[in-house]
């Protein structure tokens, strides 16, 4: 490809198959259906938020089908890492690209495993890769969500390696608030402050039921006890994330879907790093990065921006309040004000009634089937006996259910 006729450019052309979108949409429909079934019939799965996970995957995979967005991602990554000499992203040629075709600079380099063969560049690359993903997640809130070795091309020399990242369609994004909470959790984990760690997890997640904070703090302290006192270099970040998520799940605390993408990206890079350098101290590498970000968080400039934002929000709310009060009074005068009353026991009573009705219908069906078989005399007394026994057991279940309802207070 020529650039103004002066030079030939070495490029990669990425073309989308005509049937790709239809295949993805069909697969997404199946995923949505499966997620709804799982949430409906396996209540324990709700803390994992299957439907929210599918929505997040839908957002990511749909964006990945738009090659124009991948070109935008490449530009954004390059801007975020402007001035860095240890990481490169391919330059997109937007004028030659579209939604279904992407033309990008070819990064001429070597596969990771070939690049480190026969030299001591591994530990250096491990630290560089960790610094890159940490900046993406904790500082920029915009990160490569699939940084596996196949998406890494090594440039430069073993003495001065450069990590090239390709396939930039699948990315994750975090709000400033989510990043702050994540950093608080990470620092609490590094410093061994289990109380703050538990509080941070509660703030980050969504509790699906009332959580006993003291019990949850004890749970987190027990989980953290597996790691406290051990050298940080021996502690796997992936294991800590896994155990903390499992602890949250035990208390029905739902973690946001984007957190799973963060966990996957961090664990992938940690795995690569430990392969390159078995002695890699992930926490030691992360600590100065997190400390710098926290220091910047409490800088006068950041505090000033936060106060200004809060003042704008307060001003907007104060301006809107008189109008909202007027609307309520107008509805009251016109007799259009509706007060919704919720009975907390209504849903449970409806659920019990539905179960009882279903069971009664099933009992009637079993008795009817038994009677029909007896009249037809096709299967002898054995089948009839089984059906009648099943009907009797279900009938006893209905009676017991009603007795339990009478014993419930209220």
Task: Residue 150: count other Cβ atoms within 10 Å of its Cβ.
Answer: 11
pLDDT > 50? residue 373: no
Mean pLDDT, residues 279-304 taken together: 77
Higher pLDDT, 289 or 198: 198
Q: Among all chains, which residue has been given the structure tokens 């007394």?
A: 381
Q: Which helix (H) or strand (E) segment is 196 a member of?
A: helix 194-204
Cα pseudo-dihedral 199, 204, 208, 212, rounded to 10: 0
pLDDT at 372: 46
pLDDT > 80? residue 26: yes
Cβ distance 39 to 52 under 8 Å? no
pLDDT > 80? residue 128: yes
Burial 241-270 (b: 16+ CB within 10 A, else e): bebbbebbbebbbbbbbbbbbbbbbbbbbb
| Cα distance between residue 277 and residue 124, in whole Å | 9
pLDDT at 223: 85
Residues with Cβ within 8 Å of 13's Cβ and at least 6 positions away in sequence, in order, are 101, 102, 103
Mean confidence (pLDDT) of the chain? 79
Q: What is the pLDDT of residues 28-73, one digit of tens each?
A: 999 999 888 888 888 767 656 788 888 888 888 888 888 999 999 9
| Cα distance between residue 55 and residue 43, in whole Å | 19
pLDDT confidence band for 106 (50 / 70 / 90): very high
| Cα distance between residue 89 and residue 72, in whole Å | 12
Cβ distance 74 to 92 under 8 Å? yes
pLDDT confidence band for 306 (50 / 70 / 90): low
- Coil, strand, or helix at residue 21? helix
Mean pLDDT, residues 129-154 taken together: 95
Number of alpha helices (DSSP H) and beta strands (DSSP E) in the chain = 14, 12
Give 158: exposed, middle or buried? Use CB within 10 Å, 0-12, 13-18, 19+. Answer: middle
Q: Dihedrals φ, ψ of 345, to 5°?
A: -95, -5
**What angle (nearest 5°) sits at the alpha carbon of residue 314, between those of residues 313 and 318?**
120
- Coil, strand, or helix at residue 306? helix
310 dihedral zone (left: phi>0; alpha: psi -120 to 50; beta)? alpha
Which stretch of 23-32, 55-64, 113-122 has the lowest confidence by average pLDDT? 55-64
Q: Among all chains, which residue has been given the structure tokens 């993408």?
A: 261
Mean pLDDT, residues 290-312 taken together: 65
Mean pLDDT, residues 264-271 taken together: 92
User: From residue 238, how far is each of 68, 165, 235, 282, 293 by CA, in Å?
Assistant: 33, 22, 9, 10, 22
pLDDT at 404: 56
Task: Residue 30: count other Cβ atoms within 10 Å of its Cβ.
Answer: 10
| Cα distance between residue 256 and residue 276, in whole Å | 31
pLDDT at 338: 65
Q: Where are the domains of the chain?
A: 346-407
Closest by CA to 15, choosing from 63, 59, 67, is 67
User: From residue 109, how far is each of 82, 120, 157, 163 by CA, in Å?
Assistant: 21, 18, 10, 10
């Amino acid at each position: 490809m020529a650039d103004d006729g002066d030079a030939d450019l070495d490029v990669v052309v990425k073309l989308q198959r005509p049937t790709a979108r239809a295949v993805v949409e069909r697969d997404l429909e199946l995923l949505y259906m499966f997620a709804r079934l799982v949430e409906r019939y396996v209540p324990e799965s709700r803390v994992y938020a299957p439907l929210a996970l599918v929505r997040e995957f839908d957002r990511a995979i749909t964006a990945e089908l738009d090659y124009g967005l991948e070109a935008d991602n490449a530009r954004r990554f390059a801007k975020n890492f402007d001035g860095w000499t240890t990481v490169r992203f391919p330059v997109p040629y937007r004028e030659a690209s579209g939604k279904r075709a992407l033309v990008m600079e070819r990064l001429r380099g070597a596969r990771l495993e070939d690049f480190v063969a026969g030299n001591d560049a591994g530990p250096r690359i491990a630290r560089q890769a960790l610094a890159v993903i940490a900046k993406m997640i904790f500082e920029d809130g915009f990160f490569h969500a699939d940084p596996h070795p196949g998406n890494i091309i090594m440039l430069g020399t073993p003495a001065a390696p450069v990590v090239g990242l390709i396939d930039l369609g699948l990315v994750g994004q975090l709000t400033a608030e989510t990043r702050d909470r994540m950093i608080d959790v990470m620092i609490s984990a590094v410093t061994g402050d289990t109380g703050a760690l538990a509080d941070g997890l509660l703030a980050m997640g969504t509790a699906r039921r009332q959580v006993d904070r003291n019990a949850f703090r004890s749970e987190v302290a027990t989980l953290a006890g597996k790691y406290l006192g051990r050298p940080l270099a021996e502690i796997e970040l992936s294991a800590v994330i896994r155990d903390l998520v499992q602890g949250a799940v035990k208390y029905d605390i739902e973690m946001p879907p984007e957190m799973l993408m963060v966990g996957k990206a961090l664990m992938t890079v940690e795995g690569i790093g430990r392969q390159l350098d078995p002695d890699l101290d992930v926490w030691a590498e992360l600590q100065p990065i997190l400390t710098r970000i926290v220091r910047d968080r409490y800088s006068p400039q950041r505090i000033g921006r936060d106060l200004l934002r809060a003042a704008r929000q307060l001003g907007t709310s104060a301006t809107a309040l008189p109008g909202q009060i007027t609307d309520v009074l107008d509805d009251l005068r016109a007799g259009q004000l509706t007060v919704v009353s919720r009975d907390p026991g209504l849903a449970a009573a409806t659920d019990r009634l539905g179960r009882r009705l279903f069971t009664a219908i099933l009992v009637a069906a079993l008795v009817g089937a038994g009677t029909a078989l007896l009249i037809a005399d096709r299967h002898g007394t054995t089948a009839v006996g089984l059906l009648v026994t099943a009907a009797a057991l279900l009938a006893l279940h209905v009676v017991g259910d009603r007795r339990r309802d009478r014993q419930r207070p209220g």
